[in-house]
Copies of this chain bind each other. A is one copy, B any other.
C-alpha cells in the first residue's frame, strides 16, 4: 500500500518544477531500476511488485525503503502506459566539474535546443555506447531527468554526466585549437575526412538547426552523404549523431 503522501510525492516528480524543488527524479521499469541500483546514484524509495522484489532480492540494498505495490498502483503513479515491475525515486546527481581542457583529450557531445525527451534519451544512450566524456545541454533542451528521457536512455541516465551551459557563451571559452564540429549540408563529406574522438560535436534541433551563436563557434562543418537515389530532406537528430560518432571512432 502506498501512503497518500508518498503517492503525491511520486506524482509531483512527473514535473520538472518539483524535480528541482525536491532534488529527485523518477526511474521507471525493471531494467532502468536495476541499472539505478547498480550505479553510484542515490536511491530514496523503491516501489515494486512482490514478484519483482522477490526475483531481485539480491540486488535490493538492505536499508532502502521498499513499498510493495500492485501493477495497477505502479501504472497509476508513473508515466508509463503499463508498468508491471518497479519504480524508484532517485536523488538528482550533483553536477561534475567540466574542465575547459577536457575536449583536448576526449569527445563531448553538445546539444543545442534538442526539445524532444525521446531524442535526448536516445542521444544519452549513444553517448554511453561510445563512452563519451559527457553531454552538454543548452538551457532549451529537454530535461535529462524527465521520465520520458530517463526511459529512452535504457540505463545510460545512471552513467553519462550531463551539464547545462549556454553554448554560445561556453564554446568560445574552450582553449584555442579545440575542434568544435557540427552537421551542415554544406560541410565536408564525413567519409572523406580523418576524425579523432576529441573536441565537441554539436547537434542542433531537427526543425531549426543550430542557433546562430552556436553555429558561429564551429571550427569544422561535416555532412553525411545521402544515397544517390535518396530523397529524404534530413535525418533525425539522434540518427545523424550516431552516424557522425561512428565516423569519429573509426580509427580507434
Contact = CB atoms under 8 A, between A and B. Distances in A.
Contacts of A232: 125-126, 128-129, 154-156
A132 B235 contact: no
Interface string A227-246: 11111111110110011001
Contact of A118 (B118, B243, B249): B118
Contacts of A118: 118
Contact of A226 (B130, B224, B228, B250): B130
Given A118-B118, A122-B236, A131 B197 contact: no
B239 A122 contact: yes
Interface residues of A, number: 37
Contacts of A129: 226-227, 230-232, 235
Contacts of A238: 236, 239
Contacts of A234: 154
B246 A246 contact: yes
Contacts of A56: none
Contact of A239 (B155, B197, B242): B242
Interface of A is mostly: loop
A252 interface: yes
A220 interface: no
A28 B213 CA distance: 34
Interface string A112-142: 0000001000100110111110000000000
A61 interface: no
B246 A131 contact: no
Contacts of A235: 125-126, 129, 242
A197 B249 CA distance: 22
A126 B239 CA distance: 9
A159 interface: yes
Contacts of A128: 230-232
A65 interface: no
Interface of A: 118, 122, 125-126, 128-132, 154-156, 159, 191, 197, 224-236, 238-239, 242-243, 246-247, 249-250, 252
16 contacts: A126-B235, A128-B230, A129-B232, A129-B235, A130-B227, A130-B230, A131-B228, A131-B230, A131-B231, A154-B233, A191-B250, A224-B246, A227-B252, A228-B252, A235-B242, A242-B243
